[in-house]
Structure 1
Amino acid sequence: MKKIFWIAGEKSGDLHSSIVLKELQLQNKEYQHVGIGGPLMRKFGLKPMFPFDRFAVMGFIEVVKHLFFFVNVEKKIRQLFRENPPDLVVLVDYPGLNMRIAQQASKLGIPVLYFISPQFWAWKFKRIFKLKKLTDHLAYILPFEGKYFDKFGVKSTYVGHPIAQEIEIKIYKKEFAEKYNLDSSKQWIGFLPGSRDNELKKLLPQYLAAIKELDNGNFEFLISRANSVSESLFNDIIKKSGISNCKVIHDNNYEMMKHTDILVVTSGTATLETAYIGTPFIIAYKTSKISYELGK
């Protein structure tokens, strides 16, 4: 049985990759899937090597705090590649780690498919030359990227954006209002505080403070809780805020994004999802002071 090694270090990558794994299952393709991925990929056969939640890190100082973990991850992957190499390596976005793993696989002659290209056109444009050198093929999801790959001779295929398959609105606004006891005569403001616990710690208190300032009786406040964050942490932050007039949405996050009048969205995949759905939104993010100063 052929073995495929995956790295999807973020919630969005886990979701996008799970669609591919599901399709392979439907086609009765017999592969062994190992590597890094979340609960959705595990559902469709991935055998994880490391705890998925340890990879949800963003920002310079935040990565430094987890440096030993990432060094150990790379060490174990290199060992696997040498002693029991997979037939294919599939790298999903997450360029900080994946570009280094692509280099290791390339050195050992292991074929590399990069699924969802790093956004080299926004920053670090020279990455396109590394992609050409280190990958055997690239599956990209934004159509305008193709002109760059064609220009610089990167073997690539446009596969469309996964959100077109992932987003499904299951209930209409009236049913949604009844389910969550919402007043349709008021304006609905929704908040998406992120898919990582460290984002939750920084952003959710800010959103709750905004709710406190805005609460004049004219609004319904909805807060999305992602599956990937700690439920106890989420509830503790809300409890400590003393705010009780907000509705927590867990199972119907896309419906919340669709039916609210405006959203405050933590920067990430959710911003693209919101744009696709069409609801007006504000992008927000908060990082450590050191990461902010370095990024500035």
Structure 2
Amino acid sequence: MPKIAIVAGEASGDLLGYHLIQALKQERDDLTFIGIAGPKMMSLGAKSLFPIERLSVRGYVEVIRHLPSLLKLRKQLLTQLLAEKPDIFVGIDAPDFNFWLEKKLKDKGIPTIHYVSPSIWAWRKGRINKIKRAVSHMLTLFPFEQSLYQEVNLPSTYVGHPLADVLPLEPDVEKVREILKINPGTIVVALLPGSRQSEVMQHAKLFIETAILIQKEYAETQTNQIQFLVPLITRETRKLFEEAMHQIFETRPDDQVNMQIMFGHAHDAMEAADIIIVASGTATLEAALLKKPIVITYRMP
């Protein structure tokens, strides 16, 4: 039974990994997947040796703070993957974490595939030689990236972004709102504060305060109801957002808004929305593909 080692570093990687595993299983049903996976990949049977949240860090400050534990985790993961003797390794994005793993595994004779080329066409193009030493084959999201790897004789394949195939060309807003049991005529605002716990910690109060402000401004001029949808992918991020809501509304009960926290279903929330307020990340691409008005924000510690 062929064994594929696979590592995704955050929610966007989990999404890419989900579609990759799904496509591979359509070709062969005897494949097994092991490494670091998120909930979407695990729903298809991927075994995660460590929680994906352990890799979901951002910014220099947070990376430095977690660096010792990340280095320890990476060594532990390498040891376990070598013991598993996979037939191939797939690293999804997370280049600083995955290229080291890929180099170690490639040196042991295990073919390595990296999914999502770093933006070497924009900055630090010299990295390409380091990439070549670590990667057997590169999967790119943009067609022009292939020529960069051809220059150094690194095999690459343009695969595009699966969201372009998954999301509808024309969103069926009425159908999604019916599924979500949203009353006709309601103005819907989707709030996406991020997929990492650190992002939700930084954005939760900001997004809630924004919802309160929108509610007050809108109530003065309009009669339609307004509803806020907040899709969150993990119990941890949901708990953080609920705690922020409790802190705000406990002291300001008159500022209550119609806010529905959803466990996942980000696509449904965005498809149902009239407008989307989103933390910068993969969700901005999803919102753009759904042809929705977007307000993009990001707050650093």
TM-score range, shorter chain: 0.7 to 0.9
Tell me how far apart the structure 1 counterparts of residues 175 and 257 of structure 2 sit (CA, whole Å): 20
CA contact (8 A) 1:195 1:229 kept: no
CA contact (8 A) 2:187 2:226 kept: yes
- Structure 1 residue 276 displacement after superposition: 1.1
Report sequence identity in percent: 29
1:276 aligns with 2:284: no
Tell me how far apart the structure 2 counterparts of residues 60 and 98 of structure 1 sit (CA, whole Å): 18
Match of 2:256 in 1: 244
CA contact (8 A) 1:138 1:157 kept: yes
5 Å-filtered alignment, 1:154-169, equals 154-167=154-167
CA contact (8 A) 1:88 1:111 kept: yes
Match of 2:231 in 1: 225
Tell me how far apart the structure 2 counterparts of residues 175 and 105 of structure 1 sit (CA, whole Å): 45
Match of 1:63 in 2: 63
What are the Cα deviations for residues 37-58 of structure 1, in whole angstroms up to 9, with x where unaligned?
Answer: 1122222222211122222211
Match of 1:176 in 2: 177
Amino acid at match of 1:223: L
5 Å-filtered alignment, 1:10-49, equals 10-49=10-49
Amino acid at match of 2:259: K
Tell me how far apart the structure 2 counterparts of residues 245 and 177 of structure 1 sit (CA, whole Å): 21
5 Å-filtered alignment, 1:112-261, equals 112-167=112-167, 172-173=173-174, 176=177, 179-182=180-183, 184=185, 187-214=187-214, 215-216=216-217, 217=219, 218=222, 220-230=226-236, 231-242=238-249, 243-250=255-262, 252-261=265-274
CA contact (8 A) 1:223 1:249 kept: yes
Match of 1:293 in 2: none
What are the Cα deviations for residues 218-255 of structure 1, in whole angstroms up to 9, with x where unaligned?
Answer: 47242322223522222121122214213325264323
Amino acid at match of 1:172: V
CA contact (8 A) 1:113 1:135 kept: yes
Tell me how far apart the structure 2 counterparts of residues 173 and 139 of structure 1 sit (CA, whole Å): 37
Distance 1:276-1:127 versus aligned 2 partners, 3 A rule: farther
Distance 1:244-1:37 versus aligned 2 partners, 3 A rule: same
1:285 aligns with 2:285: no
SS at match of 1:126: helix
Tell me how far apart the structure 2 counterparts of residues 161 and 183 of structure 1 sit (CA, whole Å): 33
CA contact (8 A) 1:196 1:228 kept: no
- Structure 1 residue 22 displacement after superposition: 2.4
State the superposition RMSD in angstroms: 2.6
Gaps of 5+ in 2: 250-254
Tell me how far apart the structure 2 counterparts of residues 123 and 265 of structure 1 sit (CA, whole Å): 26
Tell me how far apart the structure 2 counterparts of residues 275 and 22 of structure 1 sit (CA, whole Å): 24
CA contact (8 A) 1:105 1:111 kept: yes
CA contact (8 A) 2:25 2:31 kept: no
